[in-house]
Every structure is written in structure tokens, then in C-alpha cells.
Structure 1
Amino acid sequence: MTELPTPFGALLDHSTLLAMWGALILHWFYPIPANITPLGLWRRVAVAIAEKVNHLEDPPAQQRLAGTLSLAIMWLTIAVLLIALKQLVWTVWLFDLLLLWFALGWKPISVAAYNVEQALNRDDKPTARTYLSKILNRDTCSLSQVGIAKAGCETLLAGYARGLIGVLFWYAIGGGIAAFLYALIVQLARCWPTRRQEYADFGLATAAFLTVLDWLPNRLFALLIAAGLRFNHAIEAIRLNGNQWSANGIGWLLASSGAKFQVALGGPAIYDNDKVSRPTLGGIITPSSLHLAMLNQQLRQKALIWIVIQSFFMWFAHGFL
């Protein structure tokens, strides 16, 4: 077959990179509604399975075993199906594009954070709590204005880290299948959070798996956030407090961003009417809607830098492979 003339032949040679940009553009303009996305169906299945096999009266070891088996059966089944399906598709780059589009999830969180910020500016706490409840994995009814701003900042950080950065990182490693499988683990961790009593043992395997998957991309993103103004303060905060939070890198993100804006993040939180003790990270200034707006803008800029850097590395690596 005659080769396509440039630039089309060159474009097809970089189809993985083009699929990434295509999925990002699609997600920016047409994010899939949560009620029809494949990840939404996955969450409903996860909740249904947990209701069947997770019993609080069972010994902790049995709950951990049930959680591990549930994770393995669900996740490995989808992995095998996707790998088999990839062998049948005619256009691999389109297959990758669709899977990456399904996996991305930062745009709704960014929009919700903006709506929370606007509601706080109007002193409309009920509306702010309503918007926050759509992206926060705990009850928001009792949150004060400061609590709403702090929870909004933390959720925005986690949303960018796991809804964009982690997805793109694993896409670069293993294509659309790896990105989608990573997103499935993120959703399982949200469905079976270990901070809630009923999932304290059942969700341990999923939380540990997500910790491994998040270890490198979250730390790299935390360093990217630290770059620029107050870099030394952010690095010092990461060194002193970054590992107090957890092993999956979220502590690095909170410490870096908190030091960057001198705002206090973390601290106690309410899960199912139980007060959970969490370390305070970052600065000493009480969070407000201003900090939420600044963080949203900063994360958008840093995410764009990440995308450009990853695109360059993917293009550069293609030249050697």
C-alpha cells in the first residue's frame, strides 16, 4: 500500500498522542454525565456487590478477604475483557481515545469547585454545600463556611490528581486500557472508603492498590505545584509533613499546595457522624473562597504544563521505539 503523504502519515505515526489530545478536548467540551458514564455503572455494581458480601458481623480477616476477592474478580474481569476487545477493534487509536475519555474526570470537579466558590462569595452556604456534596465523598450538611472552603480545596486537589494526572500518567504507561483500569480503582476506592466503618476492613485491599498506583504521579504533580513562587517553603512542607497524611501522595499535594498559598488544609473531618482525626498540613491561614479560586486557577495552569511535558516525552519516546 502506498504510504500516506505528509503530514497525514506522520500524524498517524503519533496516533497515541493524538488520541490523548482528542480525549482531553472531548472531556473539556463534552464531559460524560455521571449517570450514563461507564464509571457510574461500575460504581453501582461495586455498591451492589459490597451489600452482598460485606457483613459487619464477620471477623475483620474475613471482611478483608471478601474485599480482596471482590476487587480481584471485578477488576481482572474488566482487564481481560478490554485486552481481548483490543484485539478485535479495527482502529486502535479510536479505542484508546474512547477509553481515555471515559476515564477522565477532572472537568466536573473543577466546575463544581467554581460553583462552590461563587456560592461562598454570596454567603449562600446551603447552595455551596449542595454543589460540594456532588464531588465530596462525605456528608456536607454540617460544614461551616470555612469547612466548605477547606473541603473544596482538598477535593479539587484530589480531583485533579486522580481525575487527570493519574489517568494521563497511566495512559502514557499502558494506553487507554491502563488509564481506564486506573479510573476503575479510583471509583472502587470512593465506593469502599476505609474511613467509613463498614468498609474499614473490606476496602483495605483497594486502598492499598490505589496507594501503589498513585505513589509516583501524585508526588510528581506535587513537585510541579511547588515549582515557582515559594518553592522552598513548599519543598520544606513536603519534607516535614508530606508523609503524615498517607502513603499515596495526597499528603504531598496538600502540603505543597498549602505552603504555596499559606493556607491550612487537612484537620479533623466527619464521616458518618464520626469525627476522624487527620493531620493539619500547609500554612496557617484559614481557607476561604479566595483560596479555592486561586487553587482552581493554579491547578489548571499546572495541569496544562503537565500535559505539554507528557506530550513531549511521548513524542520523544516514539522516536526511539
Structure 2
Amino acid sequence: MLMLSWPACVAAALAGVLLDQWLGEPRRWHPLVGFGRLAAALERRLNRFHANPSTAIVRRLSGLLAWSLMVLVPAALAWWLVAAASHWHAALGLVLHALALYAALGARSLHQHIAPIAEALARGDLGAARTLTARIVSRDTADADAEALARAACESALENGNDAIFGALFWFLVGGAPAVIAFRLANTLDAMWGYRTHRLRDFGWAAARLDDLLNLAPARLTALSYALLGATTQALRCWRTQAPAWSSPNAGPVMAAGAGAVGVALGGPACYHGEIEFRPPLGAGVAPDAARIMACLRLVRRTLWLWLALAVASALALTIIPPLSAT
């Protein structure tokens, strides 16, 4: 990892996670808000050929250029800032690493957005549950029943556990601040540009494919962690048999293993833009409800502490073993 020993890397990771648990998302001046506005403006500037079917390759190259400007340039800037800070004082570099991870994580916000849906469903307030669910998913919720809302919340908790927590933590442990910033920005661009609409199908191709690539390893580690911390045999079976049916190479394993781990049946029909989309089944067991939403959130939280415990144990081992071997 950039300019950090493994024990220092783990210490920075712990600091970043604790900051997220303590502070949560910034309520004002969130850096991703400004990033999103800049990305939208750049897309309007570079994606000028969406009405011309003969320029697909131009649109893809434009999208790749836009992705590079929005991801690689900030990552390079982060590398330079951390290098300069570490040269001035090692502790300052450590602080910048931890702050970068804090900015990329969304563990507390994930719970804050999804737990209220479970609470609304538990007290039978369908209107509040629909409003809260609409804030975190792209599917239509205006006429959704309690089971459909609970299904959306469970799927969002499991999938975003990887996107908002474990993918960021994985890349931080691999490459520190530059890597975690690159991952988070790439994930944000996929959420903005990675749609198969007429306008974005080609321009957003690079954003979607590169996000898939960056998530290949963390998604599978997340799925394995979900399985180990729940109904292991069932989770692994769901992963093996159900994930290949999903179009996303990463969401499928994560959600199938997570649903199997907590014993809930997900997938099935969902309404998008007024049309019903029938999706492959996920998991096994009971229909989703408020209790299963909270079970999914607990699974995500246990996975986070498992990853941190393994990182700390490995750092301690590296700290203790060299002195022992020297004797």
C-alpha cells in the first residue's frame, strides 16, 4: 500500500471506519454532490452524438475519456497530496488516508436509510415506507405493497453493502487513498452513466464495464463473507445456482449469497418506469418483511466487523512474528 506499512494501513482503515460510524455522511458540502454535478456537466459536453447511430465508437471513446478525467485525475491528485503530506510528517499522511476512506464509506448512512423502512413496515405505515424506499431505489414504489417494499430494502442493503462498504474497504487495503477514491468515483459514475438508455448506452459503456471490473474481487469476498456468517450451505447453493441468471456479474453473487444467508426469498417482479420486470429468484426461505430487512442489515454489520477483525489480526501477526523470528 502507498507509503504505509500493513499495520499502519489497518490503523488508517480502523480510523476511517470509526469516523464513518461516528459522523456518518456529511450533511452539507458532500464531495460526491459536487462530483456528480461536474460529471453531469461533462457528459452533456462530451456526449453530443447520441442521436447519430453511426458514431457508437465515438460515443464509447468519449465516455472513456470522460471516465478517465473524472476518476484518474482525482486519484492522481490524491496520490500527490498523500505523498507530500507523508514527506512532511508520516502522521499527516496517515490522517489523509483515513479521511479518504471515511469519505468513501457509507456504512452508517446505509443503516440510516434502510432501517427506517423496516420501522415503517413494522408499524404498518405503508405510505412512509413507500416514500423512504423511493429515496434509495430506482424502481417504482407508489403502488408497491409491503412485501415489494421489504424486498427492495433487503436487496438494497445486501448489494450496497458491497458497493458502499466492502468494495471501498477492499481497495483501501490494496492501495490506500488513491485506490479508494478511484473506486468510489468509478462506482458513482456507473450509477450515473451506466444505464442502457439511448443516450447513455454507448457513452456509459466504459463506466459500467470498469465498475464491473473493479468490483469483481470485492463482490466475491463479500458474497463469501455473507455465506460464512449466515446459513452457509444454503447461501453457497444460492450463489452457485442463482447468480449466473443475473445480468450483473457482481450483484448476482452478492445478493444471492446474502439472501440465502438470512433465509429470505428475493428477486421476482419489480416495477420500473411503469413496466413490470420479472427478475430471477434470489435466496430461499420466507417472504421479505421488516424482520428480514433488519436481518440483512445485521449481516452487513457483522461482515464489516469480520473484515476489520481479520485485518487487525493479520497486522498484529506481522508485528509480533518478526521479533519472534529474530530470536
Q: TM-score range by the shorter chain?
A: 0.7 to 0.9
Aligned residues with identical type, % of pairs:
27
Distance in 2 between residues matched to 1:261 and 1:27, nearest whole Å: 25
Q: Which amino acid aligns with 1:58?
A: N
Structure 1 residues 13 and 205, CA gap change in structure 2 (3 angstroms): closer
Instruction: After superposition, give the CA deviation of every residue in 1:8-39 in whole Å (9 maximum; x if it has no partner).
Output: xxxx9943222211111111010133652212
Q: Which amino acid aligns with 2:266?
A: L
> Is the counterpart of residue 88 in structure 1 residue 84 in structure 2?
yes
1:251-290 superposed matches below 5 A:
251-283=252-284, 285-290=286-291
Instruction: After superposition, give the CA deviation of every residue in 1:139-195 in whole Å (9 maximum; x if it has no partner).
Output: 433432222111111111122111111111111100122112111111111112325
Q: Which amino acid aligns with 2:205?
A: L
Q: Which amino acid aligns with 1:16?
A: C
Check conservation: 1:109, 1:135, Cα contact below 8 A. no
Distance in 2 between residues matched to 1:109 and 1:293, nearest whole Å: 12
In the TM superposition, residue 292 of structure 1 has moved relative to its aligned partner by: 0.5
Equivalent position of 1:199 in the other structure: 200
Q: Which of residues 40, 54, 57 in structure 1 aligns to 2:51?
A: 57
Equivalent position of 1:131 in the other structure: 132
Distance in 2 between residues matched to 1:192 and 1:317, nearest whole Å: 42
Instruction: After superposition, give the CA deviation of every residue in 1:236-293 in whole Å (9 maximum; x if it has no partner).
Output: 1111112222454221121112222332222343333454443222125321112101
The DSSP-based 3-state class of the residue aligned with 1:198 is coil
In the TM superposition, residue 301 of structure 1 has moved relative to its aligned partner by: 1.4
Equivalent position of 2:15 in the other structure: 22
Distance in 2 between residues matched to 1:172 and 1:317, nearest whole Å: 15
Structure 1 residues 125 and 63, CA gap change in structure 2 (3 angstroms): farther
Q: Which amino acid aligns with 1:135?
A: I
TM-score for both structures, normalised by structure 1: 0.87
In the TM superposition, residue 88 of structure 1 has moved relative to its aligned partner by: 2.0
Check conservation: 2:229, 2:303, Cα contact below 8 A. no
> Is the counterpart of residue 159 in structure 1 residue 135 in structure 2?
no
The DSSP-based 3-state class of the residue aligned with 1:309 is helix
Check conservation: 1:256, 1:282, Cα contact below 8 A. yes
> Is the counterpart of residue 237 in structure 1 residue 238 in structure 2?
yes
Distance in 1 between residues matched to 2:138 and 2:14, nearest whole Å: 29
Check conservation: 1:34, 1:40, Cα contact below 8 A. no
Equivalent position of 1:291 in the other structure: 292
Q: Which runs of 5+ in 2 are unaligned?
A: 323-327
Q: Which runs of 5+ in 1 are unaligned?
A: 1-11
Structure 1 residues 69 and 169, CA gap change in structure 2 (3 angstroms): same
In the TM superposition, residue 198 of structure 1 has moved relative to its aligned partner by: 3.4
Check conservation: 2:229, 2:261, Cα contact below 8 A. no
In the TM superposition, residue 133 of structure 1 has moved relative to its aligned partner by: 2.7
Equivalent position of 2:325 in the other structure: none
TM-score for both structures, normalised by structure 2: 0.86
In the TM superposition, residue 298 of structure 1 has moved relative to its aligned partner by: 2.1
The DSSP-based 3-state class of the residue aligned with 2:199 is helix
Distance in 1 between residues matched to 2:247 and 2:124, nearest whole Å: 33
Equivalent position of 1:178 in the other structure: 179
Structure 1 residues 248 and 43, CA gap change in structure 2 (3 angstroms): farther
The alignment yields a C-alpha RMSD, in angstroms, of 2.4
Structure 1 residues 162 and 316, CA gap change in structure 2 (3 angstroms): farther
Check conservation: 1:194, 1:201, Cα contact below 8 A. no
